[in-house]
Amino acid sequence: MPLRRNSGGQRGRQTDLRPTMGRVLGAMFSMLGPAGPEGMRVLDLFAGSGALGIEALLRGADYSDFVEIDAKRCSAIKQELERLGFGDKGNVHRGKAESSWERLKGNYDLIFIDPPYKSQAYEPVLDHIGSDPDLTTENAIVFAEHSSKASLEDRYGRLNKSTERKYGDTGLSVFTVQSNDD
């Protein structure tokens, strides 16, 4: 069933992609405050359906990069971007999120990480984001979705965990990027 989005410049547009659990999705975007992701550059790692990056675009983000290993999912994300009129506002990169850094342009304000819950990718991905000053803007926000039974570290380089919440089987850790001076 298509989801209707009622925000940003895309009022009333529908997306056929099945997003992250609605409660978690709503929580992520409400944590961004009233302006939401407006004007932000977004990175959706382990994109799956691309629902998180597309939702950010629907809510006013300027641009979103998607990294997904599955070719069919990459194609579906590209089709959805075109269908919604975002063909020039997103780029889909096929490959492993853990080794895609050189293809990404950086300066991201918002990053979503949603690998399979049993994945071992959390640590290396968060370590890389926290150690690469060219990947994020100062005060960027990173949302890491994981099993509610798992707990991520409080710090990965310049990434500091600001909150961790649980929504049923889903855990959400929120990190902010601190400048090197902090």
DSSP string across 89-129:
SEEEEES-GGG-GGG----EEEEEE---TT-S-HHHHHHHH
Q: Which CATH number is 16-177 given?
A: 3.40.50.150
Determine which of 103-107, 116-120, 146-150 has the lowest per-residue pLDDT on average: 116-120
CA 60 from chain centre, in angstroms, equals 14
Please report, for the chain, the start and end positions of each structural domain, with discontinuous segments joined by +: 16-177
Q: Which of 45, 94, 91 is nearest to 64 (CA)?
A: 91
pLDDT band at 180 (very low <50, low <70, confident <90, very high): low
C-alpha dihedral (107, 112, 116, 118), degrees to nearest 10: 80
- The residue among 28 and 181 whose pLDDT is bigger is 28
Q: What confidence tens digit (pLDDT) does each residue in 84-102 have?
A: 999 999 999 999 999 999 9
> Token pair of 114, please?
């949603």
pLDDT for res 120: 85
> 9-13: long-range contacts at Cβ-Cβ below 8 A with a sequence spacing of 24 or more?
9/60, 10/57, 10/58, 10/84, 10/85, 13/58, 13/84
Q: What confidence tens digit (pLDDT) does each residue in 112-121 have?
A: 999 988 888 9
pTM of the model: 0.87
* Number of neighbouring beta carbons within 10 Å of residue 98: 19
Three-state DSSP state, 155: strand
Q: What confidence tens digit (pLDDT) does each residue in 20-75 have?
A: 567 888 889 999 988 889 999 999 999 999 999 999 999 999 999 999 999 999 99
* Number of neighbouring beta carbons within 10 Å of residue 182: 9
